[in-house]
Amino acid sequence: MLETAQARVYLRSMSNDTQKIDINTVVWRQPDGELVSCEEKLVVLRENLEEIRQECQDALEDAVLMGCDEEQVRAVLENLIRGLENPYPQK
């Protein structure tokens, strides 16, 4: 199970570790620690991750085929994710 704290650890070490996440094993939690249990929400979250994974994979392949350094592309993608802003701040 990949929970919130573990996800943070994974992201911090992402540039050094290319371990692939099994999207189906991610355990989604609410800010209070409770499980997200609505099946429709879980389906949307899984689909979103699959789409993101595929877009990132395509971008990596394109960049490498155009002669870019793979590690730089990975770093740019990681920074892109880290730079995302939450438009719904917690109360």
Mean pLDDT, range 27-31, rounded to an integer: 95
| Other CB atoms within 10 Å distance of the CB of residue 75 | 13
pLDDT at 6 over 90: no
Q: Are 64 and 70 in contact (CB under 8 A)?
A: yes
Tell me the pLDDT of the chain averaged across its residues: 85
Tokens standing for residue 38 = 């609505």
pLDDT at 9 over 90: no
pTM: predicted TM-score of the whole model, two decimal places: 0.73
Q: Model confidence at 21, in pLDDT bands (50, 70, 90)?
A: confident
Q: Model confidence at 17, in pLDDT bands (50, 70, 90)?
A: low
Collect all residues with Cβ–Cβ distance below 8 Å to 90 and sequence separation of at least 6: 31
CA 33, chain centre distance (Å): 19
Rounded Cα–Cα distance for residues 3 and 30 (Å): 11
